[in-house]
């Protein structure tokens, strides 16, 4: 009888385990809804894009995504995104530094406005940048005499992509810089390091993961950007035409498979970037956790 | 007493920084100048340009551009898209954050990454995927025509695209916040006999209200301003499926700059309001975090 | 209400948090779960509350199986280590919460809620704080509000997780006396978790000493202190000197000494550890009739009612701690560096391989 009782208890507890593993209520409901909503809005539609490309043979797919005009657009999109992200890494770090370390009149306003590219619709940014960087614009007219054309050239693409990536580096570096202990810098100073040595050997290593994360975020955002670019780019095939625009052009010509093939290439690159960013953020949080101990 | 001492210590640390670990004034001011020049080129001047261009042809032209029927219908559609997509993503954000922050389960980090996915996807592709499903040649294309429903080149498509691009905002705000707050208060409420909904309404939501509002504001700003994704699914039918950003594009392409910038200035104003609210919320939540910290230290 | 804990097992992945735990808490008793961090005491408390589910075993409340009963139906009051007060509610609303969330049928009237909350706030002597918010309270005040909140639902069992863990030493002492008095007044069956032996010894009716997911000993404070059931309990409760040796025919052989011990008459030359409390180390100037080690006085700490002396044995240089009363210390007039004899009394041995 005893063993029977035990098996019975086992069955009961096992069943109970499955039911009562979580004590707070709402786990099944919230997770179920999360997964359902995620699937309906994001996963299934994205899956549709991958499924659509199976209508093409690999050769057709390859020809579509490596057509000269498409290749030129990759070069522009990734090249300009990379340059924009670099500009943001350097000036974003500088901006974060100035905002954290120094005081100057209007600092709080400047700090708040850094997020403008998050909040300002891209189309507005696009026409505003075009207006000032065009040959007759406030800044464009100053550059024109030196033969520098910004609007309607690849340089314009860089300007737009710098704009939309601007907050990322500032906002990832800023909190890390704020948490940096003054003591480590004082220690460096007491050991005889000058300011530049302290920056290079003490401060920069500490903010490096955050800086890289911000760089990657700005780059990822720029790669997919459309709205702010198309106004200022001029959109000349082979010269100033970005990849998202090619997708739109193909859609307007009802070439859905062609558009989707290029979209899939961009999606794969975006996923890789997302994973890289997650890795970077993990690294950065590990760093911080270690220094907190 | 103890607080005076620690404040004093803090003060001394600050003095020490300005001596041993700061830069000479000329370096400081040059760095500030460079940063401000950079921000001016890319932020301040473009922002100022929006409003100047909008008012270039006078205040009357400005107002006329805003009250014109096509502009009004664009404003209406933008508001509709936001009013539908913000609550949808709000509910999702709370549900996702509840599951992720209050429970342990396998695949949690994968789920968090998947929630981030729409951030990584180009808005143009966000529009494209819905065309593939609901468009004429899409999975449900024929069925939709047979039943006389319109998704693409109509309001539902615009809403869907908007929901996609603003998908992670609320969840991204709430997950770290709720993880940091832990689940002790919820457990306490549970032991005291509260039901799941009572815990949510009376304990959890009041604790995350600032984070929630923050997420809503960001979602709303992006929803009203989205261009690429909406552009793909809208069909640009004037007065019918044009949102404000699309209306700006059409006016601009018609060389009607003053009107384009007039509508754009409304959106820019919205962005400024968003930033102001955002700053206010950050200030509020920092303040409440500070009071909590202070009292737990003594 | 009595609590019976039967064969509880709990695992977190590969980690055995609780290993076949059996425990009875009689009605009205105040029991301490005592052990180092990670010993499973908090997990056990949370399983009793229903905040965690055991992998195996059952919990009985007043003889009836409560294992699958929902937290909300267990009628327990739980005081969290960090209080878990609702920070956006006033003190009054915190205490009233448990009454307000009841279904309309059983919810007391507003006037009744007021009466009961104020009665509880008076009980914890903090009625004047009713309108404040938790962040405005001191740690000790928050602790008492957390207790009032737990009591508001008239629990049959009160569970406290490290109730004084986050408080400073002075407040801790006051609060634990206060808790003891409160328990004597209310007589709710109570279980509290602590890692502080002094706290457990002072407050509890009974102490459950836990280590690595097992119960090492259950007993009154006197019992666990005077008759520790295992080397772990010996080391965990108070200071102790530890010697290595062998047990043979009722004697402990520690290096050159053969000491009398209780029992172990049949034991044949088995390796063992011997434990002697510092106050059971006799310090002598002359070698007496009893076996003793010769030692040198290393260090004397004469602060407080007891004089603590650190001695170094001359045979193997190991350190022995002794505690003397002030009278005895004066009598001996010890100086640092002096040679003395030390004689262990009340030796308890634990065989390395239990037979």
pLDDT, tens only, B236-250:
777 788 999 999 999
Subunits next to B (3 or more Cβ pairs <8 Å) are A, C
Measured in angstroms, the CA of A135 and the nearest CA of chain C are apart by 57
For CATH 3.40.50.300, the residue range(s) in chain C are 3-236
A288 or B224: which leads in pLDDT: B224
Write down the pLDDT at residue A278. 85
pLDDT tops 50 at residue B14: no
Query: By percentage, how much of chain A surpasses pLDDT 70?
Result: 91
Write down the pLDDT at residue A12. 39
Across the A/B interface, how many CB contacts are shorter than 8 Å? 287
Closest CA to C240 of C248, C230, C250, C249: C230
Closest CA to C121 of C84, C86, C154, C96: C96
Yes or no: say if A213 and A172 are a contact pair by the CB < 8 Å rule. yes
Write down the pLDDT at residue B20. 58
Give me the helix-helix angle, B2-20 and A182-190, nearest 10°.
50
Yes or no: say if C159 and C49 are a contact pair by the CB < 8 Å rule. yes
Long-range Cβ pairs for the range A184-193 (8 Å, 24+):
A185/B17, A185/B20, A185/B21, A186/B16, A186/B17, A186/B20, A186/B21, A189/B20, A189/B21, A190/B20
Measured in angstroms, the CA of A37 and the nearest CA of chain C are apart by 29
Query: By percentage, how much of chain C surpasses pLDDT 90?
Result: 45
Task: Kindly report the average pLDDT of chain B as a whole number.
Answer: 86
**Range from B91-105, B262-276, C243-257 carrying the lowest mean pLDDT:** C243-257
H or E segment at A175? helix A154-179
Measured in angstroms, the CA of C145 and the nearest CA of chain B are apart by 13
Query: What does the pLDDT look like over B17-66, one tens digit per residue?
Result: 445 567 888 888 999 999 999 999 999 999 999 999 999 888 998 999 89
Question: Which of B91, B93, B99, B218 is the best residue to mutate to test the A interface, defined by the most A CB atoms within 10 Å of its own CB?
Answer: B99
Ramachandran area for residue C159 (φ above 0: left; ψ -120 to 50: alpha; else beta): beta
Tell me the residues of chain C between 244 and 303 that have a Cβ less than 8 Å away from chain A.
none
Write down the pLDDT at residue B137. 80
The average pLDDT across B127-133 equals 92
How far apart, in whole angstroms, are the C-alpha atoms of residue A235 and residue B121? 21
Q: Could B195 and C101 be called an inter-chain contact, meaning their C-beta atoms sit closer than 8 Å? A: yes
Q: Which residues are registered as beta bridge partners of C312?
A: C296, C319
Residue of chain B minimizing CA distance to C133: B292
Give the helix ranges, DSSP H, for B40-68: 45-55, 59-67
Write down the pLDDT at residue A9. 40
If one counts every other C-beta atom within 10 angstroms of the C-beta of residue C80, the result is 21
Confidence of residue A239 (pLDDT cuts 50, 70, 90): confident
What are the backbone angles phi and psi of residue C22, rounded to the nearest 5°? -130, 130
Q: Could A16 and C50 be called an inter-chain contact, meaning their C-beta atoms sit closer than 8 Å? A: no
A-chain residues near B170 (CB < 8 A): none
Query: What does the pLDDT look like over A244-253, one tens digit per residue?
Result: 999 999 988 9
Q: List, in order, residues 6 or more apart from B269 with CB less than 8 Å away.
A: none
How far apart, in whole angstroms, are the C-alpha atoms of residue A202 and residue A277? 24
pLDDT tops 70 at residue A291: no
**Residue A21 sits at the chain C interface (C-beta within 8 Å):** yes
Measured in angstroms, the CA of C69 and the nearest CA of chain B are apart by 12
What are the backbone angles phi and psi of residue C330, rounded to the nearest 5°? -65, -40
Q: What is the value of pTM for the model shown?
A: 0.84
Identify the CATH assignment for C241-351 out of 2.40.50.100, 2.40.70.10, 3.40.50.300, 3.90.1520.10: 2.40.50.100
pLDDT tops 70 at residue B144: yes
Query: What does the pLDDT look like over C271-288, one tens digit per residue?
Result: 888 899 999 898 888 887
**Residue B48 sits at the chain C interface (C-beta within 8 Å):** no
Query: What does the pLDDT look like over C58-101, one tens digit per residue?
Result: 999 988 998 888 888 888 999 998 889 998 899 999 999 999 99
For CATH 2.40.50.100, the residue range(s) in chain C are 241-351
Domain spanning C3-236: CATH superfamily: P-loop containing nucleotide triphosphate hydrolases (3.40.50.300)
How far apart, in whole angstroms, are the C-alpha atoms of residue C83 and residue C85? 5
Confidence of residue C223 (pLDDT cuts 50, 70, 90): very high
Between strands C251-254 and C241-248, the pairing is antiparallel
Write down the pLDDT at residue B16. 41
Write down the pLDDT at residue A7. 41
Question: Which of C47, C68, C76 is the best residue to mutate to test the A interface, defined by the most A CB atoms within 10 Å of its own CB?
Answer: C68
H or E segment at A117? helix A116-119
How far apart, in whole angstroms, are the C-alpha atoms of residue A275 and residue B19? 43
Write down the pLDDT at residue C118. 94
pLDDT tops 70 at residue B193: yes
Q: Which domains does chain A have, with CATH numbers?
A: 54-291 (1.10.3720.10)
Closest CA to C245 of C318, C342, C351, C343: C351
Confidence of residue C174 (pLDDT cuts 50, 70, 90): confident
B296 or B12: which leads in pLDDT: B296
Closest CA to B128 of A122, A63, A261, A59: A261
Write down the pLDDT at residue A84. 96
Yes or no: say if C324 and C287 are a contact pair by the CB < 8 Å rule. no
Yes or no: say if B203 and C93 are a contact pair by the CB < 8 Å rule. no
Write down the pLDDT at residue A1. 34
SS3 of B67-97: HCHHHHHHHHHHHHHHHHHHHHHHHHHHHHH
How far apart, in whole angstroms, are the C-alpha atoms of residue C127 and residue C206? 32
Write down the pLDDT at residue B287. 81
Query: What does the pLDDT look like over C108-162, one tens digit per residue?
Result: 999 999 999 999 999 888 999 999 999 889 988 999 999 999 999 999 999 999 9
pLDDT tops 60 at residue B88: yes
A289 or B96: which leads in pLDDT: B96
pLDDT tops 50 at residue A36: yes
Write down the pLDDT at residue A92. 95
What secondary structure letter does DSSP report for C108?
P
Of A9, A10, A17, the CB nearest to C53: A17
The average pLDDT across A182-211 equals 84
**Range from A279-293, C39-53, C243-257 carrying the lowest mean pLDDT:** A279-293
Closest CA to C149 of B196, B193, B294: B193
How far apart, in whole angstroms, are the C-alpha atoms of residue B53 and residue B51? 6
H or E segment at C200? helix C197-203
Q: Could C52 and A23 be called an inter-chain contact, meaning their C-beta atoms sit closer than 8 Å? A: yes
pLDDT tops 60 at residue B7: no
Yes or no: say if B46 and A159 are a contact pair by the CB < 8 Å rule. no
Q: Could A163 and B43 be called an inter-chain contact, meaning their C-beta atoms sit closer than 8 Å? A: yes
Query: What does the pLDDT look like over C23-62, one tens digit per residue?
Result: 999 999 999 999 998 899 999 999 999 998 899 999 999 8
Measured in angstroms, the CA of B190 and the nearest CA of chain A are apart by 7
Closest CA to B54 of B272, B252, B254, B276: B252
Q: List, in order, residues 6 or more apart from A48 with CB less than 8 Å away.
A: B129, B132, B133, B138, B139
Of A38, A104, A132, the CB nearest to B45: A132
Q: Where are the beta strands (DSSP E) in C163-205?
A: 189-194
Yes or no: say if C354 and C295 are a contact pair by the CB < 8 Å rule. no
Q: Could C52 and A20 be called an inter-chain contact, meaning their C-beta atoms sit closer than 8 Å? A: no
Q: Could A247 and B124 be called an inter-chain contact, meaning their C-beta atoms sit closer than 8 Å? A: yes
Write down the pLDDT at residue A16. 37
Task: Kindly report the average pLDDT of chain A as a whole number.
Answer: 86
Give whole-number Cα distances, B117 to A114, A220, B160, in Å.
Answer: 24, 12, 16
Confidence of residue A170 (pLDDT cuts 50, 70, 90): very high
Angle at the Cα of A92 from the Cα atoms of A91 and A96, rounded to 5 degrees? 115
Angle at the Cα of C303 from the Cα atoms of C300 and C308, rounded to 5 degrees? 40
If one counts every other C-beta atom within 10 angstroms of the C-beta of residue B160, the result is 26
A131 or C265: which leads in pLDDT: A131
Torsion over CA of A261, A264, A269 and A271, rounded to 10 degrees?
180
Closest CA to B37 of A91, A129, C20: A91
Write down the pLDDT at residue A293. 38
Give me the helix-helix angle, A204-224 and A154-179, nearest 10°.
140
Measured in angstroms, the CA of B1 and the nearest CA of chain A are apart by 25
Yes or no: say if B128 and B232 are a contact pair by the CB < 8 Å rule. yes
**Residue B213 sits at the chain C interface (C-beta within 8 Å):** no
Give whole-number Cα distances, B234 to A59, B124, B135, B194, B239, in Å.
Answer: 32, 12, 11, 46, 12
DSSP reduced 3-state for B216: helix
Write down the pLDDT at residue C333. 85
pLDDT tops 80 at residue B292: no
Closest CA to C10 of C56, C41, C49: C56
């Amino acid at each position: 009888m005893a063993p029977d009782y035990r098996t019975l208890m086992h069955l009961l507890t096992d069943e109970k385990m499955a039911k009562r593993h979580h004590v707070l209520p709402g786990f099944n409901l919230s997770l179920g809804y999360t997964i359902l909503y995620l699937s309906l809005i994001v996963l299934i539609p994205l899956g549709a894009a991958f499924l659509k490309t199976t209508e093409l043979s690999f050769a057709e797919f390859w020809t579509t995504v490596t057509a000269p005009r498409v290749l030129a657009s990759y070069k522009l999109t990734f090249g300009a995104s990379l340059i924009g992200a670099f500009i943001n890494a350097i000036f974003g770090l500088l901006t974060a530094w100035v905002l954290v370390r120094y005081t100057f009149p209007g600092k709080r306003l400047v700090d708040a406005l850094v997020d403008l590219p998050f909040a300002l619709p891209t189309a507005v940014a696009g026409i505003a940048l075009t207006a000032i960087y065009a040959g007759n614009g406030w800044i464009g007219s100053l550059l024109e005499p030196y033969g520098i054309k910004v609007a309607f050239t690849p340089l314009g693409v860089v300007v737009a992509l710098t704009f939309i990536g601007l907050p990322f580096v500032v906002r990832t570096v800023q909190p890390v810089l704020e948490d940096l202990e003054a003591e480590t810098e004082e220690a460096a100073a007491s050991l005889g390091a000058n300011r530049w040595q302290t920056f290079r050997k003490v401060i920069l290593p500490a903010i490096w993961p955050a800086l890289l994360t911000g760089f990657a975020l700005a780059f990822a955002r720029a790669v997919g950007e459309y709205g702010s670019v198309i106004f200022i780019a001029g959109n000349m095939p082979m010269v100033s035409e970005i990849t998202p625009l090619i997708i739109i052009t193909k859609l307007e010509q009802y070439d859905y498979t062609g558009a989707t093939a290029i979209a899939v290439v961009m999606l794969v690159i975006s996923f890789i970037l997302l994973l890289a960013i997650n890795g970077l953020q993990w690294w950065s949080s590990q760093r911080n956790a270690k220094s907190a101990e | 007493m103890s607080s005076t001492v620690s404040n004093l210590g803090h003060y001394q640390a600050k003095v020490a920084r300005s001596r041993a670990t700061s830069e000479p004034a000329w370096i400081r001011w040059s760095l500030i100048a460079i940063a401000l020049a950079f921000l001016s080129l890319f932020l301040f001047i473009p922002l100022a340009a929006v409003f100047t261009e909008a008012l270039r042809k006078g205040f009357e032209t400005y107002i006329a551009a805003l009250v014109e029927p096509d502009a009004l219908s664009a404003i209406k559609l933008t508001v509709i898209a936001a009013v539908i997509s913000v609550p949808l993503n709000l509910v999702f954000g709370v549900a996702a954050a509840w599951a992720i922050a209050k429970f342990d389960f396998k695949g949690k980090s994968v789920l968090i990454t998947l929630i981030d996915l729409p951030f990584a996807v180009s808005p143009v592709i966000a529009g494209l995927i819905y065309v593939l499903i609901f468009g004429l040649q899409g999975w449900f294309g024929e069925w939709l025509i047979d039943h006389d429903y319109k998704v693409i080149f109509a309001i539902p498509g615009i809403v869907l695209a908007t929901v996609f691009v603003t998908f992670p905002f609320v969840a991204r705000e709430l997950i770290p916040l709720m993880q940091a707050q832990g689940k002790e208060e919820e457990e306490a409420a549970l032991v005291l006999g509260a039901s799941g909904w009572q815990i949510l309404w009376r304990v959890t939501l009041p604790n995350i209200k600032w984070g929630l509002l923050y997420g809503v504001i960001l979602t709303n700003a992006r929803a009203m301003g989205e261009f690429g994704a909406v552009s793909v699914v809208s069909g640009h039918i004037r007065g019918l499926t044009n949102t404000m950003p699309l209306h700006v594009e059409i006016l601009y392409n018609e060389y009607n700059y003053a009107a384009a910038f007039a509508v754009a200035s409304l959106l820019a104003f919205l962005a400024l309001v968003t930033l102001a609210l955002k700053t206010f919320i950050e200030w509020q939540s920092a303040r409440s975090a500070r009071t909590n910290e202070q009292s737990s230290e003594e | 209400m009595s609590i019976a804990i039967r064969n509880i097992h709990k695992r977190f992945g590969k980690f055995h948090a609780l290993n076949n735990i059996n425990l009875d808490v009689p009605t009205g008793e105040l029991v301490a779960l005592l052990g180092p961090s990670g010993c499973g005491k908090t997990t056990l408390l949370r399983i009793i509350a229903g905040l965690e589910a055991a992998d195996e075993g059952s919990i009985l409340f007043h003889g009836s199986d409560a294992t699958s009963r929902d937290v909300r139906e267990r009628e327990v009051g739980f005081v969290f280590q960090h209080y878990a007060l609702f920070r956006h509610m006033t003190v009054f609303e915190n205490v009233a919460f448990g009454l307000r969330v009841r279904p309309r049928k059983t919810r007391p009237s507003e006037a009744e809620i007021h009466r009961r909350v104020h009665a509880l706030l008076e009980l914890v002597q903090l009625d004047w704080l009713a309108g404040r918010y938790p962040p405005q309270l001191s740690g000790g005040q928050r602790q008492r509000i957390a207790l009032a909140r737990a009591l508001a639902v008239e629990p049959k069992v009160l569970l406290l997780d490290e109730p004084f863990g986050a408080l400073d030493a002075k407040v801790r002492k006051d609060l634990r006396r206060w808790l003891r008095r409160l328990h004597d007044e209310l007589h709710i069956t109570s279980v509290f978790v602590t890692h502080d032996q002094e706290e457990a010894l002072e407050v509890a009716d009974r102490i459950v000493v836990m280590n690595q997911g097992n119960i090492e000993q259950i007993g009154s404070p006197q019992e666990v202190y005077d008759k520790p059931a295992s080397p772990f309990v010996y080391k965990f409760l108070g200071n102790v000197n530890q010697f290595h040796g062998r047990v043979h025919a009722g004697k402990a052989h520690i290096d050159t000494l053969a000491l009398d011990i209780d029992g172990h008459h049949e034991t044949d030359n088995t390796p063992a550890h011997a434990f002697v409390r510092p106050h059971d180390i006799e310090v002598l100037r002359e070698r007496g009739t009893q076996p003793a080690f010769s030692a040198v006085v290393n260090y004397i700490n004469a602060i407080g009612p007891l004089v603590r002396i650190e001695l170094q044995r001359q045979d193997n240089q190991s350190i022995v701690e002794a505690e003397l009363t002030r009278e005895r210390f004066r009598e001996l007039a010890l100086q640092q560096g002096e040679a003395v004899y030390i004689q262990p009394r009340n030796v308890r041995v634990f065989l390395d391989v239990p037979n």
